[in-house]
Amino acid sequence: MFFLYDISISLMAFGMKIASLFNEKVKKGVAGRRDSLKNVQQALAKDDRVIWMHAASLGEYEQGLPVLERLKIQYPDYKILVSFFSPSGYENVVKKKHIADAICYLPFDKKNTIQQFVNSFQTALFFTVKYDFWYRLLEVLNQKNIPVYVVSALFYEKQKFFTSGGRFFVEQLRKNVNIFFHQTEHSLKLAESIGLTNSMYTGDTRYDRVKQNVKNFTEVPLIQNFIQNKPALVIGSSWEAEENLVEKFINENSETKIILAPHDLKRVPQIKQRFGDKAILYSKLENSQSSVINRQLLIIDNIGMLSRLYHYANVAVVGGGFHTSGLHNILEAAAYAVPVIFGNQYKKNPEADALIEAGAAKSFSDENAAVDFLLQLFRDEDKRKSMGSLAGEFIAGQPDAATIILNNIHAK
């Protein structure tokens, strides 16, 4: 079966190289992999003891970070390596402050390539986040007796493990992973149903992360100046659907201040043109009332501020759920005790169902229905505050997943 797996990896690598001729994002990933071994060898000595976290993309990186940070504190003499599959994860993290000694793309999962990479340093512990499994890598780590964990593991019914051809992949996970730390009890039951009994429920490490964001919050004076003590709507990681929502909302409500953080900063000029004089860019804000007095919409044209913006929201809309690209992080908003609104396409986001069930969030199939509900919330302060309180209580009640995970790692 490994023969077929190796062929699929070779085909994937070839396909990505062809796609890189036409797609800038794929091109970055292909080019970055060529330098992975060199970058790691420059940053890490062959006898360095290394704690290695792998994340598919930025969301998984944020999910694994509470565990990685705690490991760094408890083992300060160990080096930290973070590997990514996606350019969106690598590009975002490498440009900002981080705790890693080395950051790279994970090489293509070919046996010789992976062996050379793993042999270039001494891995003391490896963990991957959620469900990004590479079977040659897991095999090589197991052969070197390196502990392997899966943090915030998430199994769902449509994965290949639950198909007639999934036995090979299940067997590789059973042999090569020490413990699966599941983010939901449903995921735990699914894993156990296929024989992955080396599993336990710990909760989702993203809750640890957003609680930490609230605890470490620092003011953004220009935001407070823009709001001018008026109610505020924050639109996080917007796509075009959420911007359509903003346009409809503005036509019905001219009193609420709106802060919009686009998913893609390249679209900022287009968004500014769409809203004209009603909007101002964050980079153009001044510490004076005159610059914002007639502006209802603030467009965030930088990276790294979003998690703090939700502190100023009375209601939050989080992007990605009105199409199949994927819902962005709704927990960052809920952690500030804010009602959260989003589209209804979020099949890989169990936290969305949990927040809805708690009465702290609502999802909608189209922007018009979402706008109607938003208008209702801004007219009904009691309902708005009640939903917000339920959101805050829901986040506060989640287990300290990182502590549970670390205790079990230490026990091993």
> What positions carry a catalytic annotation?
60
C-beta of residue 245 within 8 angstroms of C-beta of residue 275: no
Q: Are 283 and 302 in contact (CB under 8 A)?
A: yes
